[in-house]
Amino acid sequence: MSQADIPIKIQLFGIGVLKGEIIRHLSPLTSDAILDKLPLVLRGRFSFGSKKYWTLPGVEIYKGLNERANKESEKGDIVYNPKTDELIFALEDQVFPNKMNKVGEIQENLDLILKARNGLNTKIIRDTD
């Protein structure tokens, strides 16, 4: 982890905590906008009809695409979709219909999301441990 990588905790209320990091150099403007919003508490939900990703709509940062934006994501990626203003945690490798900014990765406990239900409060904070 470099100095530009900010450790975060993603708390799924009543289920557990995921550990990840915001990797600033991948998308600096978007990453900084997200970090400025922390702690962030939003209601999460799964992608419609499947459990391919967990999404947190309504981040309200409204940052556009960066030069590294693409449609593909890998399991564990944290991506921001500027078209719909949502933060997405990829639960498997996939290709999205539009380009997104990768802002980080989840390192621990990704499978805990599979126990969640739509509408679950999800809190993202800086990890100071």
Contact 50, 22 (CB under 8 A): no
Mean pLDDT of 23-34: 94
pLDDT given for residue 86 in this prediction:
95
pLDDT given for residue 4 in this prediction:
77
Q: Which domains, from first to last, does the chain contain?
A: 5-126 (2.40.100.20)
> What is the rounded CA–CA span in Å between residue 34 and residue 87?
9
Q: Is the pLDDT of residue 47 over 90?
A: no
> What is the rounded CA–CA span in Å between residue 101 and residue 61?
13
Could you check whether the bond before residue 39 is cis, i.e. omega within 30 degrees of 0? yes
Q: Is the pLDDT of residue 79 over 80?
A: yes
Q: Is the pLDDT of residue 98 over 60?
A: yes
